[in-house]
Amino acid sequence: MSIIYDIVINLIDYLIIFKYFNCFSEKRNMEKKYCISLFCGCIILISVVNQFHNQSMNLILCILIMYLYNLSFSYSISYHIILPVLYIGFGIVAELIGFFILNISGEMIPYFIRYYGSSFICEFIRFLIVYVICGIKEMKLPKLSFDTGKFLVIIPLSSIVICCIAINIVQNSKNGLVNIMCLVIIIMTITSNVLMFKMFLKVIDTLSDNYEKEMLLQEA
């Protein structure tokens, strides 16, 4: 029975992931039937692995499969690295909130209900974050040079490492103040990444507008 709940949760998760990747590029690198097969295959594979209840294996496989699914969308290699890393960051914030809910609810509610209830809350938080990002504007990603792209890869990756360390501290600490401080660190880290990415897109738009105005003046 639990695999059915896992399939439902993973289906919701991948619908959110699809919306996230699709708002950056609607073009795909393969035919529609293969995209649908890949989408369904990712959901089923993750749901099966979830049954082993191995957190490390789940995390590694989820990241690898998301990168695989990400390759079906058409944009530059830098964004194939950056966009999943940012989404993983959002996921870490959602998972941490779910972890707190799971612990706060204590033994009053059966574990099965607490676990899947917190999972649905995590998915709702992910959806809200993605909805805000996709609602900012229709995002058109510029081509990046290697020098620019490497920094846009290193910054999110380092942020993920920071968040993973903070989560490990939360899981092993019984001090409420330490847990709250770690939560603040994670939220601030992910927020700074989102703001950095928004600023980057704004700068690109400004430079593009200035270039177009300059070309019009030269033609005049």
Model confidence pLDDT, tens digit, residues 20-50: 998 888 788 888 889 999 999 999 999 988 8
Confidence of residue 217 (pLDDT cuts 50, 70, 90): confident
74 alpha-carbon distance from chain centroid: 18
pLDDT for the residue numbered 14: 92
Delimit the domains of the chain by residue range.
Answer: 2-219
CA torsion through residues 170, 173, 176, 182, sign: negative
Residue-by-residue DSSP string for 48-104: HHHTT--HHHHHHHHHHHHHHHHTTB-S-HHHHHHHHHHHHHHHHHHHHHHHHHHHH
Model confidence pLDDT, tens digit, residues 100-142: 666 666 666 777 777 787 788 888 888 887 887 776 655 555 5
**What percentage of the chain reaches a pLDDT higher than 70?**
82
Question: Is the CB of residue 183 less than 8 Å from the CB of residue 100?
Answer: yes
Dihedral angle of Cα 127, 154, 137, 95, to the nearest 10 degrees: 10
Tell me how far apart the 2 most distant CA atoms of the chain are, in Å.
74
Question: Whole-model pTM above 0.85?
Answer: no
Confidence of residue 95 (pLDDT cuts 50, 70, 90): confident
The Cα 142–Cα 186 span in angstroms is 28
On average, the pLDDT of the chain sits at 78
Burial status of residue 27 (CB atoms within 10 A of its CB: 0-12, 13-18, 19 or more): exposed
- How many residues would you count in the chain? 220
CA torsion through residues 205, 30, 149, 136, sign: positive
The Cα 110–Cα 8 span in angstroms is 20
pLDDT at 56 over 90: no
The Cα 115–Cα 103 span in angstroms is 10
The closest alpha carbon to 182, from 168, 166, 159, belongs to 166
Which residue type is seen at 92? Answer: I
**Which of 100-104, 156-160, 180-184 has the weakest average pLDDT?**
100-104
